[in-house]
Structures are given as C-alpha cells and as structure tokens.
Amino acid sequence: MLERLLVTGAAGGVANLLRPRLVGVSKKFRLTDIRHFVSASDLDETMIGDLADSAFVDQLVQGCDGILHLGGVSTEQPFDEILPANIVGVYNIYRAAAKYDRPRVIFASSNHVTGAYRTQEIITPNDPFLPDSFYGASKVFGEAVAKVFFVKEGVESAIVRIGSCFEQPSDLRMMSTWFSPDDFAALIKSCFTVETLDCPTIFGVSNNARSFWRNTEISHLDWHSEARVEDLLGSMNEPNVSPEEVAAGLMDYHGGTWVKRPLGTG
Ligand SMILES: NC(=O)c1ccc[n+]([C@@H]2O[C@H](COP(=O)([O-])OP(=O)(O)OC[C@H]3O[C@@H](n4cnc5c(N)ncnc54)[C@H](O)[C@@H]3O)[C@@H](O)[C@H]2O)c1
C-alpha cells in the first residue's frame, strides 16, 4: 500500500469515478485541482493550484510515493489554452517526481494520440502516433516526457491512453472505446504493486468486442480487463448513431468526430 497518493485533476470526471474505487491503494490521498472542489472524504488533503506553477507542483509532489496524473485540459481547445496544463504541467509533474524520490506516475494520456486512425484499423502501442488535435499532440508530448524521465532519471510510469472512462457508454463509438472505471482502478492498483513497472504504454480500454486497440505491454502486470461493454448493456439498448453524428464522422476514425473538426475547436 502507498503512504500518500497524489491525484491531480481531482475535481474532474475521472477522478470522481476513481477516488472511491482507490480505497486500499494508499493510506492517504492528496487531491489537487485548479478548481475548488470538496473531497468526499474529509481525511483527504486538498490543495488548489495550477499545474503550470512549478513551485506549487513541487509542494504537491513532496511526500507522495505515487502520482495519478489526471489533471489537464481534457478536450480540444486553442493551443494557448492547452499549453499551461498539458505541456508545462506534465513536465512539472515529472521534474518534481525526479527531484522528490521518484514516485511512480500513472499518466492519463488519451486515445487521441492515435485518433486519426480509421476505425477498420486495429492498432497496438507499437504503431506510430497519429493525433487528431492539439489536445492529442499535447498528450504525445506528455508520453515523451514520461519516457525521457524514465530513461534519464528512473521515474517509472504507466502511460494509459484512456478510451472513454465513464460509468456507461453514451454513444455508439463508446461500444469500441469504453473503459470501465473498475478496470481503470484495478489497473492503477496493479501498476503501484508490481515489483518493476518500467514505462509501459497501455490502451485504457475494456474487453469490448469492437475495441480498436490491442495491448502488448501488460504481460508483467497482474491486470486484465474484467468488463465488456456488451455485458454492461444488458437491459439497455445499444446507443444510436444519429445522421448528424454519421456526417461528423463519429464512426470513421478512432478519435470520432474530432478528426473532422477545425484544429483548436472543442
Ligand atoms: N474521460 C475520459 O474518458 C478520458 C479519455 C481520454 C483521456 N482522458 C484524460 O484523463 C484525464 C481526466 O479526464 P477527465 O474526463 O476527468 O477530465 P476533466 O476535464 O473532467 O478533469 C480534468 C481536471 O484537470 C483540471 N485542470 C485543468 N487545467 C489545470 C491546471 N492548469 N492546473 C490544475 N488542474 C487543472 C480541471 O480543472 C479538471 O478538473 C485528463 O487528463 C484527460 O485528458 C480522459
């Protein structure tokens, strides 16, 4: 069990899904976001600040033996809005990790690093980047930072290219991309308990029949997906795809409609 896990992006959607599922991973939790938020547990430490502020990030990381780095801009935006959190912020996290005892980092990358692949293509982490947005490009940078701090400074990371982490799918694309929050929590536990993590790149996706992604770097982890979107649907109907979504390319590319939108527009 970790002594203290730092969770960035703690006011966000994924952090709120994961926090209750991470009981037992760490004795203490330090939660941070740029937005004010209230933790469900009054035992959690909360710190408000900007990931682009290197002195603040130093304070965050000191005393933590694990980092779940979820914080950042999570949609396509003009580059100037992405730069502080997703470029400077991810660098600050890794720089501070190298400085303060090398806690393991789980880095929330995104399927949008390869979002411009066609949906007919099945890819692995060995396939080249093909980002569909400034956002996707910023996550490519984050993945590179994770790798360079592993190679040069020995900071171990799991680079998790999250598909769609929600309680349940809300559109047809998510029949391929859905990542069960339970699966994500189990992956995080496995990454913090395995003896040697190294720096694997992992598609964060459940065992969905229509997944576009195959993982090749998880054999050393005690983890495999326990969920399938098809099983979850059970009593629900499969989400419909509207003519507007077809026209927007929802089902044409791994990244859905993002590929066809003008750069920088969310
Ligand atoms: N939700 C998904 O399915 C999904 C898919 C792919 C990748 N991801 C990645 O996972 C992470 C979490 O996603 P989410 O859906 O919870 O996103 P979210 O937008 O709900 O949460 C991100 C949080 O980061 C915070 N943040 C933004 N800029 C910041 C800054 N400069 N300093 C400090 N905090 C800042 C925001 O205030 C927000 O609360 C993100 O990095 C996102 O890119 C999520």
Residue 235 has pLDDT above 80, yes or no: no
The domain 2-260 is classified under which CATH number: 3.40.50.620, 3.10.580.20, 3.10.129.10, 3.40.50.720? 3.40.50.720
Res. 236: pLDDT tops 80: no
**Nearest CA, atom 18, ligand 1:** 12
Start-end of H helices in 154-207: 174-177, 181-193
φ/ψ of 24, rounded to 5, equals: 95, -15
Q: What mean pLDDT value characterizes the chain?
A: 95
Q: Which of 47, 213, 39, 15 is nearest to 114 (CA)?
A: 213
CA atoms of 151 and 160, how far apart (whole Å): 18
- For residue 57, list its beta bridge partners: none
pLDDT tens-digit series, residues 151-189: 999 999 999 999 999 999 989 999 999 999 999 999 999
pLDDT at 266 over 80: no
| Catalytic center residues | 135
Q: What is the amino acid identity at position 150? A: F
The domain ranges of the chain are: 2-260
State whether the beta carbon of 74 lies less than 6 angstroms from ligand 1. yes
pLDDT of residue 27: 96
What is the spatial order of strands in the sheet that 45-48 belongs to?
Answer: 45-48, 26-33, 2-8, 66-69, 104-110, 157-162, 201-204
